[in-house]
């Protein structure tokens, strides 16, 4: 058979570890992929949860579930160049592939590339039962083997200091323990469907109220089996910046007495003096000194009310993390990743129709339904496509695929940070979990 299918595989991705990412080209079929990569069609379907095995979308990514990867020799390539590309000694390439004449390797020759060692990281994910509903427990069971922490969203603080629980709680805690995943109680200043600066001020200016909140939170944690408390206070505001730090110092002292983790979720900043209510109340350096680890919310550049663009463009993510590293220990930094994308109806009008959140699997379904070709933006490291619906309206979709995930994982390795976390479970994305397993050893703390 022709090796064209393999020669045109994605070469722009760096750092692919054990498995391989193939980008579908015109004429590709699962059978041809199975022959080229020496895996069964069923393995490809099941690993990637491919919805329509008989029709692939041009530009769609397929993760090849093999131990190690393959490289097909391109015109003009030498073993030295290939060894440099994969950081493998030439002698190892020769030995593994039983090459008799290293000076004469033919174009199209398939070389086996052995897997690299995997670093150990923490992996966390938020779950909001309002999004996952009756599927919540099953969703946790499906992915929790790949998680260190499960952040259950959320306990909402009431003005009187009492706490309102999430819609579903104990089944999620129990599911986390089944997979040796540590459940974290998420505490928010969420009120009437949004984060409340007024509620933040009320809490952070009243020490007696803070004590009541911590008393109740610790009591709930002890009763229900939580192993840590995650503070997700947003739109805190500049006036409450130091007050929030002081509240966290008080909380940290009490939680550590009982052996609990303490963490915070912070807005994506690139400097200490970044303007805006969302940013000004979040003090990276202080939180880095106070808490055990921080969930940096490096997503929502592309958001439902804004213009079409990548949800988590890698250059912006890098800027946030590089600033974070300058003031926070690397072993406390968790990089945020979205498990969703958006479908915008064009033309975009500020204040107009909001984009619809979709999973990567739904994005592939849309591209298949409307015969759209998936493109890839190598600057933002994100896939996108456009299509026309039945009413003749044009849409633009940005989402996540195996390439964007791998690019983010490469950044984690490059920067040497603690790990990654996801917002939010319930958006189906099987390739992500394949690549977690491929790139990292997930630390378990239960």
The secondary element (H helix, E strand) that includes residue 233 is: none
pLDDT of 104: 87
Strands (E) across 192-254 are located at 194-195, 228-232
pLDDT of 67: 82
Domain 4-113, CATH: 3.10.350.10
CA pair distance 288, 194, nearest whole angstrom: 26
Beta strands 120-127 and 149-157 are parallel
pLDDT of 8: 37
Q: Do you find a cis peptide bond into 63, omega within 30 degrees of 0?
A: no
Q: Which residues of the chain form CATH 3.10.350.10?
A: 4-113
Q: Which residues of the chain form CATH 3.20.20.80?
A: 120-340+400-442
- Look up tokens 């229900």; give the residue: 224
**Cα 121–227–166 angle (5° rounding)?**
105
DSSP conformation letters of 302-340: S-TTS-S--SS-HHHHHHHHHHHHHHS-GGGEEEEEES-
Q: Are 424 and 128 in contact (CB under 8 A)?
A: yes
Q: Are 116 and 98 in contact (CB under 8 A)?
A: no
Helices and strands, counts by H and E, the chain: 17, 21
pLDDT of 11: 37
CA pair distance 30, 54, nearest whole angstrom: 8
Reduced DSSP (H G I as helix, E B as strand, rest coil) percent helix, strand, coil of the chain, to 5: 40, 20, 40
pTM: 0.92
207 in catalytic set: no
3-state secondary structure 334-392: EEEEECCEEEEECCCCCCCCCCEEECHHHHHHHHHHCCCCCEEECCCCEEEEEEECCCC
Beta strands 333-338 and 293-296 are parallel
Please name the residue ranges forming H helices in 225-272. Answer: 241-257
Mean pLDDT by 10 residues, the chain (446 residues): 37 52 96 93 96 96 89 93 92 93 91 91 98 97 98 98 97 98 97 94 98 98 98 97 98 98 98 96 98 98 97 98 98 98 96 95 98 98 98 98 97 98 97 95 96
12, 77, 142, 234: which is the annotated catalytic residue?
234
pLDDT of 156: 98
Q: Are 254 and 291 in contact (CB under 8 A)?
A: no
Residue closest to 398 by CA, chosen among 297, 296, 312, 305: 312
Q: Are 58 and 368 in contact (CB under 8 A)?
A: no
CA pair distance 40, 62, nearest whole angstrom: 13
Per CATH, which fold does 120-340+400-442 belong to?
Answer: TIM Barrel (3.20.20)
CA distances from 188 to 39, 82, 339 (A): 47, 51, 21
């Amino acid at each position: 058979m022709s090796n064209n299918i393999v020669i045109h595989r994605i070469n722009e991705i760096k750092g692919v570890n054990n498995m391989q990412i193939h980008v579908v080209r015109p004429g590709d079929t699962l059978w041809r992929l199975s022959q080229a990569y020496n895996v069964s069609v069923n393995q490809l379907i099941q690993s990637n949860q491919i919805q329509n095995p008989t029709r692939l979308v041009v530009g769609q990514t397929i993760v090849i579930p093999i131990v190690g990867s393959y490289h097909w020799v391109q015109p003009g390539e030498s073993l030295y160049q290939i060894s440099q590309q994969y950081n493998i000694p030439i002698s190892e390439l020769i030995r593994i592939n039983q090459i008799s004449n290293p000076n004469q390797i033919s174009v199209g020759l398939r070389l086996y590339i052995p897997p690299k060692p995997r670093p150990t990281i923490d992996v966390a994910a938020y779950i909001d039962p309002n999004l996952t509903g009756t599927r919540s427990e099953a969703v946790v069971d499906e992915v929790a083997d790949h998680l260190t922490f499960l952040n259950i969203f959320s306990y909402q603080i009431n003005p009187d200091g009492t706490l309102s629980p999430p819609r579903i709680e104990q089944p999620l805690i129990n599911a986390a323990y089944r997979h040796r995943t540590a459940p974290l109680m998420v505490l928010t200043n969420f009120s009437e469907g949004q984060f409340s600066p007024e509620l933040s001020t009320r809490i952070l200016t009243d020490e007696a109220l803070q004590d009541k909140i911590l008393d109740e939170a610790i009591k709930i944690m002890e009763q229900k089996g939580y192993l840590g408390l995650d503070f997700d206070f947003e739109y805190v505001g500049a006036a409450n910046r130091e007050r929030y730090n002081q509240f966290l110092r008080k909380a940290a002292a009490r939680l550590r007495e009982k052996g609990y983790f303490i963490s915070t979720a912070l807005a994506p900043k690139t400097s200490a003096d970044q303007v805006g209510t969302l940013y000004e109340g979040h003090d990276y350096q202080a939180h880095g000194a106070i808490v055990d680890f921080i969930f940096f919310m490096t997503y929502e550049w592309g958001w439902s009310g804004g213009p079409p663009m990548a949800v988590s463009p890698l250059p912006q993510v890098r800027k946030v993390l590089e600033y974070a590293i300058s003031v926070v220990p690397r072993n406390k930094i968790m990089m945020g990743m979205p498990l969703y994308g958006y479908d915008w109806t064009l033309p975009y009008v500020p204040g107009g129709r909001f984009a619809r959140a979709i999973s990567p699997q739904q994005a592939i379904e849309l591209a298949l339904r409307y015969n759209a070709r998936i493109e890839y933006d190598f600057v933002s490291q994100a896939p996108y496509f456009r299509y026309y619906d039945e009413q003749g309206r044009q849409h633009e979709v940005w989402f996540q695929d195996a390439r964007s995930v791998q690019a983010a994982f490469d950044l984690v390795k490059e920067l040497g940070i603690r790990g990654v976390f996801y917002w939010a479970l319930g958006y189906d994305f099987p390739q992500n979990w394949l690549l977690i397993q491929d790139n990292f050893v997930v630390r378990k703390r239960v």
